[in-house]
Amino acid sequence: MKKITSALPLFFMLLSISFLCINCKDKPSNAEGKERKPIMQKTVYPSDVFPYFDKWVIKLGDGESRKDLVNYEKKDFFYTINEDGTNWVVYKTPNSGVTTKNSSNTRTELGEKRRWLPKDGGRLTGTLKVQHVSTTGDARAAASYSVVVGQIHSDDGHKNEPLKIFYKKFPGHEKGSLYWNYEINTEGDNGGRWDFSTAVWGYDMSVIGDAPDGYPKEPEEGIALGEEFSYKVVVKDGIMKLNFSSPGHETKTFTKSLIESEYAKSSDMPQQIKTLYASIGRDGTEKPAAYTGEAQFFKQGAYNQTNGKDPESNMVWSTGSEIYGGDITKQYENGSYAEVWFKEATVE
User: pLDDT class for 15, splitting at 50, 70, 90?
Assistant: very low
Domain architecture of the chain: domains with CATH: 55-347 (2.60.120.200)
Minimal CA–CA distance to 108: which of 328, 330, 268, 335?
A: 328
Nearest alpha carbon to residue 179 among 226, 143, 154: 143
The pLDDT, as a whole number, for residue 171 is: 97
Q: Tens digits of per-residue pLDDT, 19-51?
A: 444 444 444 444 445 566 555 678 999 999 999
Beta bridge mates, 91: 78, 340
The pLDDT of residue 19 is 40
The amino acid at 148? V
Q: For residue 42, what pLDDT is reported?
A: 86
Cα separation, 291 vs 60, in Å, equals 28
Segment 184-210 shows an average pLDDT of 97
Is there a contact between 154 and 296 (Cβ–Cβ < 8 Å)?
yes
Residue 12 pLDDT > 60: no
The b-or-e profile of 52-63 (16+ CB within 10 A means b, else e) is: bbebbebbbbee
> Among 10-14, 71-75, 148-152, where is mean pLDDT lowest?
10-14
Q: What is the mean pLDDT of residues 170-197?
A: 97
Concatenating the DSSP letter of every residue in 303-325 gives: EE----S-GGG-TTT------GG
C-alpha dihedral, 39 to 45 to 51 to 57, nearest 10°: -160
Question: Do residues 76 and 33 make contact, with C-beta atoms less than 8 angstroms apart?
Answer: no
Angle at 299 between CA 147 and CA 252, to 5 degrees: 65
Which helix (H) or strand (E) segment is 229 a member of? Answer: strand 229-236
CA 188 vs CA 157, 274, 289, 316: distances in Å: 10, 19, 13, 22
pLDDT score, position 25? 44
Q: What is the pLDDT of residues 210-222, one digit of tens each?
A: 999 999 999 999 9
> At 28, phi and psi to the nearest 5?
-60, 145
Amino acid at 296: Q
Helices (H) then strands (E): counts for the chain: 4, 16
Give 249's strand partners.
246
**Mean per-residue pLDDT for 104-121?**
95
**Global pTM?**
0.87
The answer to whether residue 123 scores a pLDDT higher than 60 is: yes
Contact 315, 280 (CB under 8 A): yes
Which of 157, 161, 153 has its CA nearest to residue 57?
153
C-alpha to C-alpha distance for 322 and 309, rounded to whole angstroms? 10
Q: What is the pLDDT of residues 325-337, one digit of tens each?
A: 999 999 999 999 9
Looking at residue 85, its amino acid is G
| Rounded Cα–Cα distance for residues 304 and 289 (Å) | 30
The mean-pLDDT minimum among 44-53, 78-87, 98-107, 250-259 falls in 98-107
- Taking residues 232-240, report their average pLDDT: 98
